[in-house]
Structure 1
Amino acid sequence: MTFKVGLTGGIASGKSAVTNLFQTLYAIDIIDADLIARELVKPGQAAYKEILGSFGEKALLPTGDLDRRYLRERIFANADQKELLESILHPRIRQQLLNDAEHSRSPYCILSIPLLVESNMLSLVDRVCVVDTAENTQLFRVQQRDNISASSAQAILDNQCSRQFRLAAADDIIDNNQSLNELQEQVEALHFRYLKLASV
């Protein structure tokens, strides 16, 4: 059974930068919940059909793909809609994460799950690592990355669980307010810690 590290953090906290370091420096298998979710909602998939049945044709782009921006706006505006979408996706994501972890060939694997804490997926992992960064940094990155206004970026942050709530669930914290060199040093220290834990 592969030792599983659950990696999480708020939006634009630098989760991808951290997983890239684990993967490129140490060849650790990364299992990404966002990538799994994207596969699950491709046209023809069961989740795609269920989302279309629940949210209607307005949830489609002219290409036939799901309109992720439309869905995001719907779930931010309506808690019931958010719950509905999560009830369709989360059980499928959970199952795929476990399937992929079972086939991992590295000494331990990292499950990158943005909603690890708030979606009650903690039981999937052996250890929780939170990538933490200052809120003003998150706001700036989200605006730049998604080309959205400051108020839209703030709304996204406000819709996530609090930083304190996430940090309270952490076994390990990566401080991503520093330089890339310092980030690499933190990743290196955790890599050796996880190797030790995985060998027990």
Structure 2
Amino acid sequence: MKNLLALSLLLPSLAYAATVKFSEELIPLQVNENKVEHSLFSSVDEVTVSQGQHKIKVKYKDLYEIDYDEHEVIESEPFWVVINIENSEATYQLSMPRADDIDGAKQYIKSPFVTFKEQGANSQVLRLEPVKAQVVLSTEQKNKTHLPATTASAPSNSAAPKSSSRIQVVAEKSPNAPVSQQPSALSMLEFWWSQASEQEKAAFLANKKGS
């Protein structure tokens, strides 16, 4: 669907900033309170963020062939995920397991999720489930986000050569940005429990029994 190449960062660079890249089926819509602006001829496929936690709003969109010269676009509702940047100089990948056929894609959008991994490392691939937009992050750096300009294709067809166009992505506060609320201890415990591996859960329970 997309064949995008980030050309430059139009905003001042962050010291010790990590890059988060999105697979071609995932469209970034918002990073923390910063809305990601796309146009008909230009789109964003990566952002730069500081170390710490960040909430990212994405949606899934893909094109599947039904029959000869007949295609259907499968698109999910926007959803939020929370990522944790531990290495501020690394590149991370936010992606999803692309379905083999249109039926699988339709099934995926009923319960979407994404995978998150540091590139070039032996780090564990994390499965991130959608979270509520009101989740409170544990870092004060969450608003420090850079959004790059990119090139994209003219929409004649998915295989046509792309005309170059540059847009500036303005980091602005969206009127629909999530409102931070202090979560309860129970809600935070449920969130982190859902992110833990089976081994981590077992170790935690063993530790609680021992105490």
Do they fold alike, i.e. is TM over 0.5?
Answer: no
Bigger share in strand: 2
Task: Normalising by structure 2, report the TM-score.
Answer: 0.22
Task: Normalising by structure 1, report the TM-score.
Answer: 0.23
Say which structure, 1 or 2, has more relative contact order (CA 8 Å, 6+ apart): 1
